[in-house]
C-alpha cells in the first residue's frame, strides 16, 4: 500500500463523514456533509440520489487533503434500518424512510402478533417500527410504487452501488433488518412471506470487508479503488477504535449512545434472552463475530438539558468544570434526571440551592447509571467486558468522563475522530488486500 491511501465513509443520521488513512493508518484527510433528510409529519425521509451526492461530496473533501494520491480501497459504513428499495431498472422506487420515523407502528404490532413467538431469537431484534421489515411492509401497504420494488439495499450498500460497485448485501447491516435468520445467515422465508416481498428482495449476505467491485469515474481520483461495505456504523466504529475483539465493549457517545460488545456467535436461546432484556444481537463488522448492542438516548438528553439551561452544546465548557467540582465533592447528585429522551425527561429535587451545573451533573449521572445497567445486561448474555473503549463528542468533557468512570470502572478514551469512517477504511484495506485480516479487529485504539 506504499503511497496509496484508504477512504472510509460513515453515512450517519446527522452527517456523512469521510476519513482518509495513509499507509501508516493515520487519518490525513476528513470530509463532512449533512444527511439530506426531508422532515415529514411522521419523522423524516430522503432521496437516495441526494444521499449519494452527499457521500460523494464528503469523499471529495477528504480526498482533496491528500493531493491526488492513489486510492487503494473505499469502505462505506452506515446507519442501519433505513434503506433503498430498487425497481427492476436499479433505480429507487420510493423515498427512503428514516429509521426513527414512526411509520410502521401498526405493521410492527401485526408482526408481533403474526411472528412474535421466536421472532427475536431468530433475527436478534424486537418486532418494532424501527425494524426494516415493518417499514417495508408499510411501504407495500401505503405506496403503490413500492410494489415495483425488486431489491432492498441498506444505505451503505446503496452508496457502494452508486460508486460503481456490485449490488451486494453485507451481513452486519442485513442482520439489522428483520429479514434475516441470524443463525442460518440467510434470508428468512417466513419474514419475507409476511411482508409480501417478491423473490430476490433480500439476497444472501457477505461479511464486511468483502470486495464488491471497483469504483467508476463518479468519484474523481478514486477510479478502480476496490469497494466494500464496512458494516453497520456502530460496529465499524468498534473496528476503528480497536474494540472488536471478543469481550471488548465500545461506548459510542452520540445522540443515541450505543454500547457494543463483541462476542462469539450466540445460541438461539441466548439471542432470545438478549432481545427479551432490551438488547439487540447481530453479526459484527468482523468476520465470525457477533455484536450485542444496547442503547440509551443520552446525547439527546444532554442536548435537552442544555437547551432548558439556555446553553449551546459547544459552549458547555463552564458547566463541565462546575459539574466536575460537584462530582469530585462526593455524595449522590443533589438533583435527579429520569427519562433520557425529550418526550419523557424530567428533573427532580430542584430547590433554592439548585444550579445549572447540578442539573447537568444529574443528566450525566442518569446516563452513566443507564450505561452501567446496559453493560451488566450484556455481560449476562456474552460474558463480562474485557475492557470498555469510549468514543464520541459527548464523552469529551472531564465531568462526563469522571461520572462514567464512577459507574463503569476503568475506561479507555480515544480522541475525537471519525471512528466509524476509520473502521470502514480498515475494512477497505482488507478488501483491497492492502492490510492483513487482523487489522479489521485492531484499529486505532490498540
3-state SS, one letter per residue, for 98-149: CCCCCCCHHHHHHHHHHHCCCHHHHHCCCCCCCCHHHHHHHHHHHCHHHHHC
Distance CA 214, CA 222 (A): 9
Query: 80-91: per-residue pLDDT in tens?
Result: 999 999 999 999
Query: 3-state class of 45 per DSSP?
Result: strand
Please count the helices (runs of H) and the strands (runs of E) in the chain: 14, 22
Q: Residue 340: which residues within 8 A CB-CB, separation 6 or more?
A: 296, 297, 298, 300, 301, 366, 367, 370
**3: pLDDT strictly greater than 70:** yes
Summarize the confidence of residues 427-437 as an average pLDDT. 88
Instruction: Give the burial string for 378-392 (b: 16+ CB within 10 Å, else e).
Output: beebbeebeebbbbb
Provide the pLDDT for residue 120: 96
pLDDT at 443 over 70: no
Which stretch of 45-49, 184-188, 358-362 has the lowest confidence by average pLDDT? 358-362
Rg of the chain (C-alpha set): 21
> How many angstroms from the chain centroid is the CA of residue 327?
30
CA-to-CA distance for 168 and 202, rounded, in angstroms?
10
**Residue 346 confidence (pLDDT):** 73
- Across the chain, mean pLDDT equals 92
pLDDT at 414: 86
Checking if the pLDDT of 442 tops 60, the result is: no
* pLDDT tens per residue across span 347-375: 777 776 778 999 999 999 999 999 999 99
Which of 21-25, 281-285, 305-309, 341-345 shows the highest mean pLDDT?
A: 281-285
Integer Cα distance of 428 and 158 in angstroms: 16
Query: How confident is the model over 258-275, as a mean pLDDT?
Result: 96
Amino acid at each position: 500500500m506504499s503511497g496509496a491511501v484508504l477512504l472510509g465513509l460513515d453515512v450517519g443520521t446527522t452527517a456523512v463523514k469521510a476519513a482518509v488513512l495513509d499507509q501508516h493508518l493515520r487519518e490525513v484527510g476528513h470530509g463532512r456533509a449533512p444527511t439530506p433528510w426531508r422532515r415529514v409529519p411522521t419523522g423524516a425521509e430522503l432521496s437516495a440520489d441526494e444521499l449519494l451526492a452527499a457521500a460523494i461530496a464528503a469523499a471529495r473533501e477528504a480526498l482533496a487533503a491528500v493531493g491526488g494520491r492513489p486510492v487503494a480501497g473505499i469502505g462505506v459504513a452506515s446507519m442501519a434500518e433505513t434503506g433503498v428499495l430498487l425497481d427492476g431498472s436499479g433505480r429507487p422506487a420510493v423515498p427512503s424512510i428514516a429509521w426513527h420515523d414512526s411509520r410502521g407502528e401498526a405493521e410492527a404490532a401485526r408482526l408481533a402478533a403474526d411472528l412474535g413467538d421466536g421472532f427475536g431469537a431468530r433475527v436478534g431484534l424486537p418486532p418494532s417500527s424501527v425494524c426494516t421489515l415493518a417499514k417495508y411492509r408499510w411501504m407495500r401497504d401505503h405506496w403503490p410504487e413500492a410494489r415495483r420494488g425488486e431489491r432492498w439495499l441498506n444505505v451503505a450498500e446503496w452508496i457502494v452501488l452508486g460508486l460503481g460497485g456490485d449490488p451486494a448485501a453485507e451481513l452486519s447491516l442485513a442482520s439489522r433488518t428483520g429479514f434475516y435468520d441470524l443463525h442460518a445467515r440467510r434470508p428468512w422465508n417466513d419474514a419475507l412471506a409476511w411482508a409480501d416481498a417478491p423473490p430476490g428482495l433480500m439476497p444472501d449476505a457477505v461479511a464486511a470487508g468483502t470486495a464488491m467491485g471497483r469504483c467508476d469515474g463518479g468519484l474523481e481520483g478514486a477510479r478502480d479503488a476496490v469497494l466494500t461495505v464496512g458494516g453497520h456504523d456502530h460496529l465499524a466504529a468498534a473496528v476503528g477504535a480497536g474494540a472488536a475483539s471478543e469481550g471488548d465493549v465500545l461506548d459510542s457517545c452520540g445522540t443515541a449512545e450505543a454500547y457494543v460488545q463483541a462476542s462469539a456467535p450466540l445460541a438461539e436461546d441466548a439471542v432470545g434472552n438478549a432481545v427479551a432484556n432490551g438488547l439487540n444481537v447481530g453479526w459484527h463488522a468482523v468476520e465470525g463475530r457477533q455484536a450485542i448492542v444496547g442503547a440509551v438516548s443520552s446525547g439527546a438528553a444532554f442536548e435537552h438539558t442544555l437547551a432548558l439551561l439556555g446553553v449551546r452544546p459547544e459552549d458547555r465548557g463552564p458547566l463541565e468544570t462546575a459539574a466536575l467540582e460537584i462530582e469530585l465533592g462526593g455524595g449522590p447528585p443533589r438533583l435527579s434526571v429520569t427519562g433520557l429522551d425529550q418526550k419523557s425527561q424530567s428533573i427532580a429535587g430542584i430547590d433554592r440551592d439548585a444550579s445549572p451545573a447540578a442539573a447537568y451533573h444529574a443528566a450525566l449521572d442518569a446516563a452513566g447509571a443507564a450505561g452501567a445497567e446496559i453493560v451488566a445486561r450484556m455481560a449476562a448474555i456474552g460474558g463480562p467486558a474485557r475492557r470498555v473503549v469510549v468514543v464520541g463528542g459527548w464523552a469529551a468533557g472531564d465531568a462526563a468522563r469522571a461520572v462514567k468512570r464512577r459507574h463503569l470502572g476503568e475506561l479507555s478514551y480515544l480522541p475525537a475522530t471519525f471512528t466509524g469512517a476509520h473502521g470502514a477504511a480498515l475494512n477497505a484495506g482488507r478488501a483491497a488486500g492492502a492490510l492483513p485480516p487482523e487489522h479489521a479487529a485492531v484499529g486505532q485504539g490498540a
